[in-house]
Structure 1
Amino acid sequence: MIKSALWMIGALTSFSLMAIGVRELSGLIDTFQVLFFRSVIGLFVIALVIACSGKVERFRTDRPGLHGIRNIVHFAGSYGWFLGIGLLPLAEVFALEFTVPLWTALIACLFLNEQLTVRKVFAIILGMVGVVVIVQPGSGVISHSSLIVLGAAICYAVAHSSTKSLAATEHPLTILFYMCLVQLPIGLCFSLLNWQNPTDVQWFWITVIGISALTAHFCMAKAMQTAEATVVVTMDFLRLPAIAMVGVAFYAEPLEIALMVGALLMLLGNLLNMYVPENKHGDVARTSR
């Protein structure tokens, strides 16, 4: 569990850096073009790392179909998430994204044969209550932008569950290599519709996005090798207070009491999920198939 937590810290830092880069490019460079460049940078770096390691077998896979499905869905989720970053406050985007654990728990239970324990359910409920406290549901929350982010969350849940399945047989570098390989031509085709050459500053942020995307997914894949998908994604709740501080520091977004209370509830849920042992009698509850 400690190793998984450390890998998740790396993922949280990477996702925060990526969010900053996306916000800086929002409205300046087409989202499809940013996703294309992210894949180009990622493919170059990962191919170089694999080649230098001498383990060329990591370029091969026996599960191309699952890689394809995972990355088509993940691309759709990334597109929605990138759009949301430019349309909503950072903390709200991340809060809405944190419906992912609910979908991931259900998908992992149905397709990965994971147990949905009472402890996990309670931890996820605490996190979801934290999200409700932060976004304060009302007439203004269910907007077009919010629905885009919620759709991205469902796509990410499918991608997370697919990553868990792939991590059982594939090296994290192989997963990342095929992520870039599959998503690159998709991003290229759509970006050609509205192509523009980036400026020097925009190239900097594109590079930040490309590198942080790699480290985020590498850390997530490593975390999923040491813990169940539902545990990893529940720990991902810590990303909300992290990105809230980014919003305060860089974009003058308010740090509201509701945000701090919600973040505390999420933290309690994470601590419960990480440190409270399961009992030996009936602590397991599966959803029906």
Structure 2
Amino acid sequence: MLGTLLSFSVMAIAARQLSADFSTLQILAIRSAIGLLVVSMMLTRSGWQQVRTRQPGTHLLRNLAHYLGQFGWFYAIGFIPLAAVFAIEFTVPLWTLLFAAALLGERISLPRIIAVLLGIGGVLVILRPGAEVLHTAAVVMLGGAFAYGLSHTLTKRLAPANTPLCILFYMMAIQLPLGLVPAVFDWVTPGVTHWPWFLLVGLTGLSAHYCMVRALMLADASVVIPMDLLRLPLIALVGFVAYGETVDFYLAVGAGLILLGNALNLLWDRQKTMDMRIEAQQDDSSAKQ
């Protein structure tokens, strides 16, 4: 998880550096090209038969949503404080709950409804509609978080029948033309000093997800996911040190509400898992008797 935290922070810095000279579409296109190259090398070693799928439509819809989420993230990075971007991004698990209920038939309990309302309240505090002119980037990031929620829900649908490398391959292969075709009309040729930043964006995007998957293999989600919430104070520190960004009162309160909503959701999941284990142990004891 330390690898995940470091990867996301480095990717945010690299994206901020590139946003001054390149459009969001071009950054996404080059990121996808680098990711596709790396994933293709991995598939060459482990076997290309993994990319066979019976769910091409779901892959397409999932990656259209994921692309919109990435566009919102990379666009917002260039205009608003890093902590604000990450705070709004942390509403993704809450939007995922709503999409999972609508598309997968998952039940939303009262604690989860409260978690979603806390997240929405946190966003309203950060954006403060009506108090001042909303920054376009904040609204775009909120739309990106919503799109990420749909993407995560569709990933759940793909996961049982598709390997992680298969999902990553289609993600890069579909998103490359989505960014490349429109970026051609506003293309800026990267210089020698730009390529290290592009490589960081491409490689840290993969390493962040790889490290998180490894962490989930080594420890329970109830241990791993709360560590991911440390991204917010960490990126706030990075923004302060690297760019002189400060966390105002409204951002702190809004972020706190969003994190509280996520924590409530995690506690509910943990309690539900414990209840299921106790019930399974009781059934096992009854069977033995």
Tell me if TM exceeds 0.5.
Answer: yes
Q: 1:108 to 1:236 in 2, by over 3 A?
A: farther
Name the CA distance, whole Å, in 2 between partners of 1:108 and 1:227.
Answer: 21
Give the equivalent residue in structure 1 for 2:201: 209
Give the equivalent residue in structure 1 for 2:17: 24
Q: 1:176 to 1:211 in 2, by over 3 A?
A: same
Q: 1:162 to 1:199 in 2, by over 3 A?
A: same
Give the equivalent residue in structure 1 for 2:175: 183
Name the CA distance, whole Å, in 2 between partners of 1:125 and 1:219.
Answer: 30
Give the equivalent residue in structure 2 for 1:166: 158
Name the CA distance, whole Å, in 1 between partners of 2:110 and 2:226.
Answer: 14
Output aligned runs, 1:144-163, within 5 Å. 144-163=136-155
For the pair shown, which has the larger CA radius of gyration, 1 or 2? Answer: 2
Name the CA distance, whole Å, in 2 between partners of 1:248 and 1:108.
Answer: 36
CA contact (8 A) 1:101 1:234 kept: no
What displacement does 1:43 show?
A: 0.7
Letter in 1 for 2:14: G
Q: 1:172 to 1:65 in 2, by over 3 A?
A: same
Give the equivalent residue in structure 2 for 1:74: 66
CA contact (8 A) 1:235 1:270 kept: no
Residue-by-residue CA offset, 1:180-203 (whole Å, 9 max, x unaligned) = 111112222112111122122211
What displacement does 1:176 show?
A: 0.7
Name the CA distance, whole Å, in 2 between partners of 1:108 and 1:220.
Answer: 21
Q: Sequence identity, in percent?
A: 44
Name the CA distance, whole Å, in 1 between partners of 2:31 and 2:105.
Answer: 33
Give the equivalent residue in structure 1 for 2:271: 277
Give the equivalent residue in structure 2 for 1:44: 37
Letter in 2 for 1:245: L
Number of paired residues? 270
Q: Normalising by the residue count of structure 2, what TM-score does the alignment of the two structures yield?
A: 0.79
Q: Normalising by the residue count of structure 1, what TM-score does the alignment of the two structures yield?
A: 0.79
What displacement does 1:110 show?
A: 1.2
**Greater mean deviation of Cα atoms: 191-200 or 233-242:** 233-242
What displacement does 1:12 show?
A: 4.1
CA contact (8 A) 1:95 1:135 kept: no
Specify the SS of the correspondent of 2:194: helix
Name the CA distance, whole Å, in 1 between partners of 2:106 and 2:225.
Answer: 14
Are residues 1:63 and 2:36 paired? no
Over aligned residue pairs, what C-alpha RMSD do you find? Answer: 3.2
Letter in 1 for 2:13: I
Name the CA distance, whole Å, in 1 between partners of 2:150 and 2:163.
Answer: 19
Q: 1:31 to 1:19 in 2, by over 3 A?
A: same
Name the CA distance, whole Å, in 2 between partners of 1:223 and 1:166.
Answer: 21
Specify the SS of the correspondent of 2:271: coil
**Structure 1 residue ranges without an equivalent (≥5):** 1-5, 281-289
